[in-house]
């Protein structure tokens, strides 16, 4: 009964999430100004208006972005205040995923010389690094500076970046740095989950799904490149893609061949089916589709054990997905992206 109070609150919060009909209305709104008007009928209205009072005459998409981020942050703060103390480690293991997501985005931005405000707009305040920390990190112009900031703060993320800086500077390739962050994240998460209770099994399964997703994403990045040391890129711990299969696919040159190989080697039927449905020209959509399947497993766990940890963790995913959907719609409207293209990036949860 540990989650009885929190899960009652979560059910209330979930009732305020946008429905498919809401998305249909927003997707059919071609102009950013009209979209802003439509968002006044959502729970984000107050946050967007507060952002407008701060940003003034900044582009409407940036005002919406700030309002969405604030709404996400407030939701996660409300959740965190109600988490049972003995389960805080489990939630930390889940939310740290977004720290690593943000750090990889920061590193890529610095590597490409992207302007700090553009990098900051891509970040998601979902982990331990709050908005102030992310703002400061977005000002860093190189990977070394990001590592130094983290080291000054005593952050455990400093080590994986610092230890791979020399290789990055030599090859100008961020992948070893990113994989080091991923390994740290997943090792930390799996080590933090102790016991064999239902909640431990749920979080452990989620982490293992994310390991598989990371390995698949790595294969997609490497497609077309000659890679001799495949074992350096594989992260152990997943259940759906074996190391042997990874090694057999790591040097596949074309996306069509990679998708075919994944469809033949993944151990989960639904994952194989999803991979088979992807057009090679739209391979970039695969990670989001597979993530949806992983979250479906989490939802099933929430239905089976309504007073367990799965429901609040699933809500975190729903809330972050909602923000990402709205961000895609807002920037699509701002840059006049056709509706059919925007629909590819909106995932209902």
Q: What pLDDT does residue 1 have? A: 53
Q: pLDDT per residue over 210-249, tens digit each?
A: 999 999 999 998 886 666 577 789 999 999 999 999 999 9
Q: What pLDDT does residue 104 have? A: 96
Give the C-alpha separation, 154 to 303, whole Å: 39
Lowest mean pLDDT among 77-91, 132-146, 223-237, 323-337: 223-237
Give the C-alpha separation, 46 to 76, whole Å: 17
Q: pLDDT per residue over 125-177, tens digit each?
A: 888 888 889 999 999 989 999 999 999 999 999 999 999 999 999 988 999 99
Whether residue 59 has pLDDT greater than 70: yes
The separation between the first and the last C-alpha atoms of the chain, rounded to the nearest angstrom, is 26
Q: What pLDDT does residue 224 have? A: 67
Mean pLDDT score of the chain, rounded to an integer? 91
| HSE-up (13 A, CA, CB side) for residue 43 | 17
Q: Could you tell me where the DSSP H helices lie in the chain?
A: 4-14, 20-27, 32-39, 45-55, 60-81, 88-112, 116-121, 131-138, 143-152, 158-162, 165-171, 175-192, 198-222, 243-249, 255-265, 269-276, 286-304, 310-334, 339-343
Largest CA distance in the chain: 55
Domain ranges of the chain: 1-82+320-349, 193-308
Q: How confident is the model at residue 56 (pLDDT cuts 50, 70, 90)?
A: confident
Classify residue 56 as left (phi > 0), alpha (psi -120 to 50) or beta.
left
Give the C-alpha separation, 240 to 242, whole Å: 7
Give me the percent of the chain exceeding a pLDDT of 70.
98
DSSP output for 132-143: HHHHHHHT--SH
Answer whether 257's CB lies under 8 Å from 269's CB. no
Query: Which of the two residues, 1 and 247, has the higher pLDDT score?
Result: 247
Specify the CATH number of the domain 1-82+320-349. Answer: 1.10.132.50
Q: Is domain 193-308 in CATH 3.90.1300.10, yes or no?
A: no
Which residue, among 171, 183, 166, has the nearest Cα to 104 in the 3D structure? 183
């Amino acid at each position: 009964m540990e989650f009885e109070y929190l899960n009652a609150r979560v059910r209330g919060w979930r009732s305020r999430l946008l429905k498919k009909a809401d998305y249909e209305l927003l997707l059919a709104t071609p102009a950013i100004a009209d979209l802003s008007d439509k968002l006044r009928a959502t729970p984000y209205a107050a946050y967007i208006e507060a952002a407008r009072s701060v940003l003034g005459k900044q582009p409407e998409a940036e005002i919406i972005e700030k309002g969405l981020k604030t709404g996400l942050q407030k939701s996660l703060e409300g959740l965190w205040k109600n988490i049972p103390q003995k389960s805080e480690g489990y939630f930390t293991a889940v939310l740290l995923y977004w720290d690593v997501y943000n750090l990889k985005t920061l590193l890529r931005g610095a590597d490409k010389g992207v302007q700090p405000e553009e990098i900051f707009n891509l970040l998601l305040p979902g982990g331990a690094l709050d908005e102030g920390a992310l703002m400061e990190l977005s000002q860093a112009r190189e990977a070394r500076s990001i590592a130094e900031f983290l080291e000054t703060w005593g952050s455990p993320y400093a080590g994986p970046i610092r230890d791979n800086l020399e290789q990055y500077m030599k090859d100008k390739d961020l992948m070893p740095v990113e994989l080091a962050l991923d390994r740290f994240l997943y090792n930390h998460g799996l080590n933090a989950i102790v016991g064999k209770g239902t909640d431990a099994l749920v979080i452990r399964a989620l982490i293992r799904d994310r390991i598989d997703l990371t390995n698949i994403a790595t294969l997609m990045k490497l497609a077309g490149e000659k890679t001799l040391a495949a074992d350096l890129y594989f992260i152990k711990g997943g259940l759906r893609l074996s190391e042997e299969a990874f090694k057999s696919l790591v040097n596949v040159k074309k996306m069509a061949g990679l998708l075919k190989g994944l469809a033949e080697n993944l151990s989960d039927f639904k994952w194989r089916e999803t991979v088979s449905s992807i057009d090679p020209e739209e391979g970039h959509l695969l990670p989001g589709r597979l993530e949806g399947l992983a979250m479906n497993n989490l939802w099933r766990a929430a239905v089976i054990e309504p007073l367990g940890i799965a429901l609040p963790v699933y809500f975190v995913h729903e809330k972050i997905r909602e923000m990402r959907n709205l961000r895609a719609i807002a920037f699509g409207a701002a840059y006049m992206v056709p509706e059919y293209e925007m629909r590819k990036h909106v995932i209902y949860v």
